[in-house]
Amino acid sequence: GQQVMQIPQYQHVQEGEDFTTYCNSSTTLSNIQWYKQRPGGHPVFLIQLVKSGEVKKQKRLTFQFGEAKKNSSLHITATQTTDVGTYFCAAQTGANNLFFGTGTRLTVIP
C-alpha cells in the first residue's frame, strides 16, 4: 500500500527558532493535506496543496508541495508555545483515501 514518510518524528526547539517537517512519498500525489493535533486533542485541518510547486502561507506557517508532487514541507517561522502539537501530512493519490504520515511532534521550550 501507499506509504508516506514523515520526518523528523520529534523536534524540540527554543521559542523563536524555526521548525520544519517533511513528507515524502514514492508515488505521485494528487494532493496533500496538513493537520495539527494539539496534546490531548484531535487532528484539525490546516491546508490542502494541489498544484505542482505550490506554496501557501498562513501567518508564520509556510506550506510547500514539490514540483514532482511527491513531497511536501511545513515550515514555521519563529515558533511560539502555541505551536506545540503534532503535525501530520496526509497524502492522496487519485480518488483513494488519505494516507497519514506518522507525524512530527513539536515541543517549544519557552
Partner 1 sequence: DADVTQTPRNRITKTGKRIMLECSQTKGHDRMYWYRQDPGLGLRLIYYSFDVKDINKGEISDGYSVSRQAQAKFSLSLESAIPNQTALYFCAVGQGENQPQHFGDGTRLSIL
* 65 touches partner 1 (CB under 8 A): no
Interacting residue with partner 1 among 7, 24, 56, 100 (CB under 8 A): 100
Q: Write out the three cell numbers for 67.
A: 514540483
CA distance 30 to 37: 23
**Least Å from the CB of residue 42 to partner 1:** 4
Closest separation in Å from C-beta 16 to partner 1: 28
Cα angle 34, 68, 53; round to 5: 60
Asked if 66 is part of the footprint of partner 1 (rule: CB under 8 A), the reply reads: no
Nearer to partner 1, 29 or 108 (CB): 29
For residue 43, give the amino acid letter: P
Residues 6-45 that bind partner 1 (CB under 8 A): 6, 9, 30-31, 33, 41-45
For the bound state, the minimum distance from the C-beta of residue 68 to partner 1, rounded and expressed in Å, comes to 19
Category of 25 on φ-ψ map: left (φ > 0), alpha (ψ -120 to 50) or beta: beta
* Shortest distance in whole angstroms from residue 40 CB to partner 1: 9
Distance, CA of 104 to chain centre: 8
Question: Applying CB under 8 A, does 52 fall inside the site for partner 1?
Answer: no
Query: Measured between alpha carbons, how far is 81 from 15 in angstroms, rounded to an integer?
Result: 7
